[in-house]
Structure formats: structure tokens, C-alpha cells
Amino acid sequence: MTSPRPIPSDSIPLIERLASRVRAARTAQGLPRRALSEMSGVSPRYLAQIEAGEGNISVILLDRVASALNLRVEDLLSERPPLPGDVSRVAQLYQAAPAALQGRVRALLAPENPGALRAQRICLVGLRGAGKSTLGRIAAEKLRMPFVELNDEIEAEAGMPLAEVMALYGQEGYRGFEAQAIARVVERHDKLILAVAGGIVEEPVTYAQVLERFHTVWISTSPAEHMARVRAQGDLRPMAGNPEAMDQLKAFLTTRTPLYEKAHAQVNTSSKPVQTSVNELLAAIAKNRFLESIGLT
């Protein structure tokens, strides 16, 4: 009887890697060696030799063992360790996906392409009275895309008017609703124009989410026009019983301007007809390519 041929020294790392990975996969799945034998059709004795680094397994038998362990042959042999189960499943789904979807996944995962995370979502930021709602609604209609007021989302979720939300939950509670509403909008829409409350920029985590997931445009105007427009809308809160309201508004602008300046574009509506401001907003959207599906196809 002839003795088995010795394993070449340069093959030993491969055999040891195979032994270690078969042992680890079987242990992780809680499989006794006999159960793996029944599933793969490879004898318990041969499996023991493989796990000891002594088996010179054929490709066909190795494929059976890998299949029984829900692994690929290359997972057992590659120099790289096998992917965790959930990651491996995602990899399989990616491989089976259409080319267009694969491109979108790559774009979303690519750190060098943050624009892909924003999709075709546009968010208008700025103080009350700047014109966010008016401009956003008209621009969305012209671009044939949804327009959403974040405060409307908050009222729908809370089941009560905004004033009652503030009275019942306070500013902190309102900010919690605001953050949740942003997350819902991102989940539901890849394309829309969103108008948010002026103070959202003072919530660092929420505003960071806005900047990451939306192309943001700061809609600005002069303090006098801010005040006049709010009063024209029937909201007398900035003025009623408060002769220093203009000073407070200017203080808000001073404090928030560095935050608004983080937006990706700006439109100043001061002393301009609505249509002119709408045209400037549409021009900013086009110039900055906010609606181009970069990396999404």
C-alpha cells in the first residue's frame, strides 16, 4: 500500500485556513460533525481530517461542505475572512439586483458622492416671512414635484394644531416631533421641496441631518420685510405687546446667519416680486444640479 503524498509546504497555509473556517462555520451554526456529514454527504471521519488540517479534499466534496454550511467555496479558501451572515446576504442581493439598482447602491455608499444621499430632495431654510412656503409651493408645481410643509407633517403626526403641540409638549417636545418628521420625509420621498421652520438650524443633530439628506437653499430677506410679511399673514405674535420685536428679529438673524450660510445655495427675496424670486430659486436649483440623479442610475 502506497503512503499518501506529503502536502507541499506552500499549500499548508491554505489547508490550515480551510480547516479553521470549516471548524468555525460548523461551530457557529451549532452543527455536530455527524449532522454536517449527513447534510453534505461527506463522512464524519473525512470531516474530522479536514478540520484537523490533514484532509486533501476534492473540489466536489469541498463544494458539498460549503453548501451545507451556507457558504461559498471561496469563503473557505480566500485569504480574506468570510463575510458575516447579514453582510453576505446583502452581497447576494446586490449581485442579483439590476445594474441600475447596483449603481444606486454604490452611489449611496460612496463617501465621495454625498450628493447621492440627498437624492432630489430640496429643503428651504430661513426665518419666518422670508418666503419659503410661497416660493416652495410655486417652484414645486413648476417642477412637477411634491411640496411639503414640515409643520404640516408634525401636526398630522401629533394629531393636533401646532399651537397645541407647543402648549402641551413645549419647545423640546416640538423639536422631537421635528426630528421624527424629517426622518419620515426622507424615508417617503426621493424627490420633493420641503419648507422647514426657521429655528431648525439651532438643533445641531437635526440640522446636520437636513444638510446631509437635502439640497438646502437659504431663503432670506431684510428684517423689515420679514416683519411685514408675517404681519400680512395675520400673525401678530412678533409685534403684539413687544415693542422690541424688531431688535429681537435682528438678533435672531445675527445668531442664525452663520448656520443658514451652511446651506448649499441662497435666494434673497428682498424688494423683489414673487415671480422674480421663484425664477431665482429655479435658477439656483438648475445651477447647482440639485435635480440631476447623480449616481442614481
Assess whether pLDDT exceeds 50 at residue 9.
no
Task: Give strand pairing partners of 215.
Answer: 122
DSSP string over 235-266: --TTTTT-TTHHHHHHHHHHHHHHHHTTSSEE
- Can you identify the CATH homologous superfamily of domain 114-287? P-loop containing nucleotide triphosphate hydrolases (3.40.50.300)
Task: Give strand pairing partners of 216.
Answer: 123
Express each pLDDT in 114-152 by its tens digit. Answer: 667 899 999 999 998 889 999 999 999 999 999 999 999
Assess whether pLDDT exceeds 80 at residue 69.
no
4: left (phi over 0), alpha (psi -120 to 50) or beta: beta
State mean pLDDT over 165-191: 91
Domain ranges for the chain = 9-81, 114-287
State mean pLDDT over 29-52: 86
Fold of 9-81: 434 Repressor (Amino-terminal Domain) (1.10.260)
Residue 113, classed as helix, strand or coil, is coil
Please give the share of the chain, as a percent, with pLDDT higher than 70: 78
Express each pLDDT in 218-253 by its tens digit. Answer: 999 888 887 787 777 665 554 444 557 778 778 888
For residues 44 and 33, the answer to whether their CB atoms sit within 8 Å is yes
Assess whether pLDDT exceeds 80 at residue 186.
yes
Best CA proximity match to 260, nearest among 123, 114, 116, 112? 123
Average pLDDT, the chain: 82
Best CA proximity match to 191, nearest among 147, 126, 136? 147
Whole-model pTM: value is: 0.61
